[in-house]
Chains A and B, each alone.
Chain A
Amino acid sequence: MRDIAVVAYHQSDCLASAGASNEVELIMPVLRQVFDQVGLHNAQDVDFVCSGSCDYLQGAAFAFVAGVDALGAVPPIRESHVEMDAAWALYESILKIRMGHADSALIYGFAKSSPGELPIVLSQQLDPYYLAPLWVDTVSLAALQARLMLDKGAITEADMAAVVARSRRNALGNPRAQLAGEVSVEELLAEETYVSPLRRHDCCPVSDGAAAMIIATVEQAERWGKPYARITGIDHRIESHNLGLRDLCDSVSTRRAAAAAGVADGAVDVAELYAPFSHQEIILSRALALGESTAINPSGGVLAGNLMMASGLSRVGEVFRRIVEGEAGRGVAHATSGPCLQHNLVAVLEAA
């Protein structure tokens, strides 16, 4: 199988509201950044383009069609789209390169979640007969999951607050983050609950923005002469939609994906986990068997800013960045989709 490298990555600031920017205006500056990192002119200079977005975030069908206007797609390009986080667009692109139909690919995800009420919009992702009609929001479902863990003694509220404190502290070093700061576990625990047992800070914020990445065969990356990180494994798995059937205190699909991606084949210096809720980071860390030696979410993770539909791709990008900057030799990136971690993707990146 062909070896694949991440060559460029950029993410916009996570903004509570991108205000007047439309999809094209959100995407274009991010694409410009990754093209400039490699020295490319536009999407004509890669072999394949794939994006991830969700129509319901802004409430308009075919959000991704407008995105094509940002690409310079004349003459026509090889292009596809997943109605999923762009981490799955990365997956589709990797298959395209593996099969030899492309040597390089541009991947991007974009989100303008602020125009709607995201937790309610996502309630319509649930079973359309039994759950969606009740309008059970995603925050509440995560709260049910958190209580299961607390009751079982699998975590404490202080453990959850510690995740948040670390996220805020790490985000101080991430100029793209929406929420950053020095805050103690005690201060966090003193705050009121929001959807009990969750406090507001246990939940990721709603952010607008975009992220983009360029990948290529290792040969192509060498020809470009830019620093790169190799993707040595990538896999994703889905679980039952029925929350009552799943062990919500674990993430079996993450374990499976991690095994297939070869997470355990070496030391993990850094891990970027798409955990929209503090307790989910703990579930994921355990499912990935990460230990003390792994820096978890050094970017602050999505608790510091969550670009729905792009955050998964950003996790891969953040690991890439730390590897090419020499901070890490090997890292794990994770993306999730669906209620309470129903669907999980795991990628392993290594220094060239």
Chain B
Amino acid sequence: MSDDAVTGIEAPIYLQYQFTAGRAPARFLQRLKAGQLTGQRCPGCSQVYIPPRGACPACGIATEEEVVLSDKATVQSFTIVYIPIPGNPIEPPYIVANLVPDGANISFIHLLSDCVNDEVHIGQRVRAVWKDASEWDYSMDNIQYFKPIDEPDVPVAQIGKLPVSGWGAGA
């Protein structure tokens, strides 16, 4: 037993919750389990959101229409993470990119890999690398990472505005 005065205590606070995905996220996750990226189109401004949350944040109205998106995407921006993040098991350094999939008007954050870090740039074209279909779950981890593909860069003004048919020859 120490003779020093008590100056601190530990307070373990562990609370149990049962989390339920929202209706719109649940539909998104179900499609993701089937290997498909989907968004929702706002009936007001026609913009397509991924992941959908059931509302267009700009208009504040409910979104219902589901839109199948490409698993090709454009790098809107990115960072190279060098420090470990609590709860994130990935070994640094790694690239976290804001990616807009073709057919959507908003970016989400995912891993960019199988690339030369110094060559990653805004406007770069990338594509999802999926896990084996047998491992698919209700999780964005079904996509291991995105990797660069051999398509011309997207001009900045066009990022977030590509149709689902994508970029290059078809666009």
Binding site for B on A (CB under 8 A): 19-25, 28, 31, 42-43, 56, 58-59, 66, 68-74, 114-117, 120-121, 124, 128-129, 132-133
Contact = CB atoms under 8 A, between A and B. Distances in A.
B20 A115 contact: yes
A242 B110 CA distance: 48
B25 interface: yes
A20 B60 contact: no
Contacts of A132: 11, 13
Given A22-B54, A115-B20, A117-B16, A28 B60 contact: yes
B152 interface: no
B53 A20 contact: no
A114 B20 CA distance: 10
25 contacts: A20-B20, A20-B21, A20-B26, A22-B20, A22-B21, A22-B22, A22-B53, A24-B22, A24-B53, A24-B55, A25-B23, A25-B24, A28-B62, A42-B60, A59-B17, A68-B57, A69-B53, A70-B55, A72-B61, A74-B57, A74-B59, A114-B18, A115-B19, A115-B20, A132-B13
Nearest to B12: A133
Nearest to A114: B18
Contact of B16 (A24, A56, A72, A116): A116
Interface in B1-22: 9, 11, 13, 15-22
Contacts of B60: 28, 31, 42-43, 69-73
Contacts of B21: 20, 22
Contacts of A31: 60
Contacts of A56: 15
Contacts of B116: none
Interface residues of B, number: 24
Given A22-B21, A116-B16, A133-B9, A28 B55 contact: yes
Nearest to A133: B11
Nearest to B9: A129
A-B pairs with the 9 shortest C-beta distances?
Answer: A72-B60, A22-B22, A69-B57, A74-B58, A59-B17, A115-B17, A24-B55, A42-B60, A116-B17
B107 to A, nearest CB: 16
Interface string B27-65: 000000000000000000000000001110111111000
Nearest to B58: A74
B92 to A, nearest CB: 23
A73 B15 contact: no
Interface string B88-118: 0000000000000000000000000000000
Contacts of B59: 42, 72, 74
A123 B9 CA distance: 18
A116 B17 CA distance: 4
A66 B24 CA distance: 14
A56 to B, nearest CB: 8
B38 to A, nearest CB: 17
A117 B9 CA distance: 25
A235 B121 CA distance: 56
Residue from A69, A117, A129 whose CB has the most chain B CB atoms within 10 Å: A69
B169 to A, nearest CB: 35
Contacts of A66: 53
Nearest to A116: B17
A239 B128 CA distance: 57
B57 A21 contact: no
Contact of A72 (B18, B20, B58): B58
A20 B29 CA distance: 13
A120 B20 CA distance: 20
Contact of A58 (B17, B23, B57, B62): B17
Contact of B22 (A21, A72, A74): A21
B18 A115 contact: yes
B54 A24 contact: yes
A119 B60 CA distance: 33
Contacts of A124: 13, 15
A55 to B, nearest CB: 11
A311 B53 CA distance: 25
A21 B110 CA distance: 25
B20 A59 contact: no
Interface string B119-161: 0000000000000000000000000000000000000000000
A5 to B, nearest CB: 24
Contacts of B25: 22
Nearest to A75: B58
A73 B17 contact: no
Given A73-B57, A116-B17, A22 B62 contact: no
A289 to B, nearest CB: 40
Given A19-B20, A43-B60, 5 more contacts: A24-B22, A74-B59, A116-B16, A121-B15, A128-B11
